[in-house]
Amino acid sequence: MKKWVAVASITGVSALVLAGCGTQNAGASANNTSQTGAASQAVKTITVLTNRTDMQANGMLKKYAQAFEKTHPGITVKWQTFVDNSTVQAQMNGGTYPDVMLILPNITPNELPQFFVPLDTLGLDNKIYFKDFQSYGGHVYGIPTFGDVNGIVYNKAAFKKAGITSPPTTLNAFYADCAKLKKHGIIPIALNYTDKWPLANWTDTLPNVIAGNPNYLNTMVQSKAPFTPNSPMGRALNIVDTIVKNGWAEPDWKNTNWANSKTLEAQGKVAMMYLGQWAIPQIVSAGTTSSNVGFFPFPATNQGKPLAIMTPDWELAVNKHSKNIPAAEELVKWMVLDSGYPNYAGGLPPVKGMKSNVPQIQQLYAQAKVVQGVPSTTALTQLENTSQIDINGGGAVQTVLNAPNFTSALQQLNQQWENAASLSGQ
């Protein structure tokens, strides 16, 4: 999950929406990177960080390494995978981290130059969307792997079995559908609690949707108590709390994970998950057909057209302490332009003119008001770090679900937030 806050501006969204329609062969691109010319040099090994443990297991990371090495002789790629951000944070704190990084969500914009090199020389600035998400001082430090839009990924056969003829468009209808699914022996929605990161959408996305103000998270720094029951954040947390209290999540929800849930959804034993469109091809590959998987915007309120926010997924960066910076930069450029990874991952290609191969994205576009995101402010990230409230990684949801009661959980979060604001002078 990523650190961002969106702003309600449709400028630039239309082009990306259009680019998100249609199909593209993996690896195809009108912009081919040149070979690095490293063949005349000694072999260089670069370590590349990725969160895709599944691609390590199925051999895709090895295939990507081989494809890159074939066109960039003299460079060897070594992948490093992770599940928990804390393991990578420990590396960074120790001063030794991979040559090519995924920028962690707790890094503030002013800290980017401390860890990474500017990537302006790659010539990608005018070719990609979201280039300003990881920038500081007029320099770009992170290049997006692909774009995301979050919503409910659902099994159509499960809906049909429960007598649901169309996706819900209001929160009350969503709750009613959850009750119908449970009555028919289907788990309404999987939370994937133990992985933690799937919980992040409930706090880093849903509050913006509820507020009807995609800049809402940034405005939280102006409040000493943003976790009140009637605030957008409080209402978002109340929705996930309501799901658990009504038995609409997994029966053993504290011992569930994404790897298992995608198979259960493919089988129709789980009906829904609140994730990005990237999850669709993974659910399909877990044992169902693409035509059986649908995608609709989260109906977070009972009024108006649901909102959907378009943002970048993880951003690639180059370690400023790397001994092989040019080779690392070539890998970043290749991954974005030539690898075909955005479509493999089910993402919205970050390169202008490339098209998504996820047909379900069109269903969500038809049902939602789509807006493009912008980065969160330094002030917000610092407050989250100081308060130790994990809005962006799912930890805040775990805190609420594990609390004795919902009211006391919000009170505790407000106290942590107020203490952090006082320490930072806000």
pLDDT, tens only, 23-70? 333 333 334 444 444 344 567 999 999 999 989 999 999 999 999 999
For the chain, the domains span 26-146+313-353, 149-310+374-423
**Diameter of the chain measured on Cα atoms:** 67
Per DSSP, the three-state class of 1 is: coil
**CATH architecture for residues 149-310+374-423:** 3-Layer(aba) Sandwich (3.40)
pTM assigned to the model: 0.80
Contacts of 80 (CB under 8 A, 6+ apart): 47, 48, 49, 50, 98
Instruction: Put residue 215 in one of left, alpha, beta given phi > 0 → left and psi -120 to 50 → alpha.
Output: alpha
Superfamily of domain 26-146+313-353: Periplasmic binding protein-like II (3.40.190.10)
* Within this chain, domains 26-146+313-353 and 149-310+374-423 share the same CATH topology: yes
Distance CA(254)–CA(68), nearest Å, equals 40
- Ranges under pLDDT 50 in the chain: 1-40
Distance CA(279)–CA(59), nearest Å, equals 19
Name the DSSP class of 9.
E
pLDDT of residue 41: 53
Return the ∠ at Cα 261 (arms to 257 and 266), rounded to 5°: 165
Instruction: Put residue 250 in one of left, alpha, beta given phi > 0 → left and psi -120 to 50 → alpha.
Output: beta
Q: Where are the alpha helices (DSSP H) in 321-360?
A: 325-337, 341-344
Read off the pLDDT of residues 286-304 as tens digits, 9 standing for 90 and up: 999 999 999 999 999 999 8
